[in-house]
Structure 1
Amino acid sequence: MRTTLILAGLVGLAISPTACKRTSDSNAPTGECGGMCGRGTRCDGNACVVDYSQDICTSQAVVQEEVPMRPPITSWGECTLDRNQLPKKFRPVDDSQIAQFDPNRPRVMDWSAGEEQLNEPVLNANMREVEYAINECLAVAACYNNGSLKGGRLDLMISLVGKTGKADAVSVTASSDLTVFGIVPCVRKAIADHQFPTYNGPPMTVKYNIEIGGTD
């Protein structure tokens, strides 16, 4: 099987652009401040105040550093396991302890939390790791399904908690051909088991979908 489309949508991501006010005049720090006022300020009496005649950035640009990422998966859902080592009777993984994602569920706000969020490169790198775990779920299902799977799509909704870096709720919607041999509970557990980076901010909702081409 092969990936025909991978698309990540991130809800709750805040990226501030640079917004600077520029003029041709620039006032040097003067007055009674003893030359202590820095760039973008001026002396007013005994205090340094913002000087809007200088170049002032009202918000900082978020510089997204390159994040190491594993290569894309090129072979999805192939039975690469020794079928003789698998149990004769298939048993799905237990995902009963993982809450289903519900956009309307009440959430307890942590007023001590900051405003941090994971940026897109970090989330995409972590979701790539999750993809590899998901592919293991597909591989097991393929082994029980005569060695291959038909194509389909997986839609994921994840509630991510910053303090723990763990998903506290996960929903997986799968095409009918990808609901065989416990794929859905295995995918849910793969996501819940993944350790995302921690951050000091409110929960994030991560939307992710994978569309997979099948073998006929």
Structure 2
Amino acid sequence: MKKLVLLLVLTALTATTFAAPERGRRNNNDDELRNRRSRDARDSRYNRDSRRNRQRDRRYDDRRRTRPDPTRAYRRYRHTPNRDYVRHNRRWTTARDYHRTVRPIYVYNNRWLRVSVSYVDGYYWDYDYDYPYFIYNGYRHRYSAYDTCNYELVDSWSDSVQRTFYTYSCSTGYDLCADLRDELNDYEYDYRYFCAERYNW
């Protein structure tokens, strides 16, 4: 009787030991299906991210900023430089670093920065960003004595560049551009010319 019980126990253990690998064996078709689904999901995420990055990339944004109201009455204005060179903590090593912080809607004709604001004309210190600006005709211009800006004098009627003021500090470049702008606008008696940074994405 003991031998019979021992034989049954050994038979059961042997069957369990050799049957375990059979239960754990995978079907090759299941592996291929799982790999294909994983690959398709990865490709789908890549394509979706690529489309999103393309939409966010300003190089593909060709919207044109609306020009100022042409019916607005012109008022004579003479630019007065601000000689109070206040140091500021916010610095931009290159113009591109600053331009990447500006929303694409403020890029006019894919070439010029035209950040619209609701402040009066004149020198303006932005306490939130610790940075100086100069406001003219509803648009904001960088006015740092330490950062470099590439200002251009633009004819708004033809969207052509009349004069460039590159590699100057922002305040010096804007002062030079604004002086010439005011002379030409006075001659035309219209807001025909404007100063703007050349956009560098």
Please report the TM-score for the alignment, with normalisation by the length of structure 2.
0.27
Larger Rg: 2
Specify which structure has the higher proportion of helix.
2
Please report the TM-score for the alignment, with normalisation by the length of structure 1.
0.25
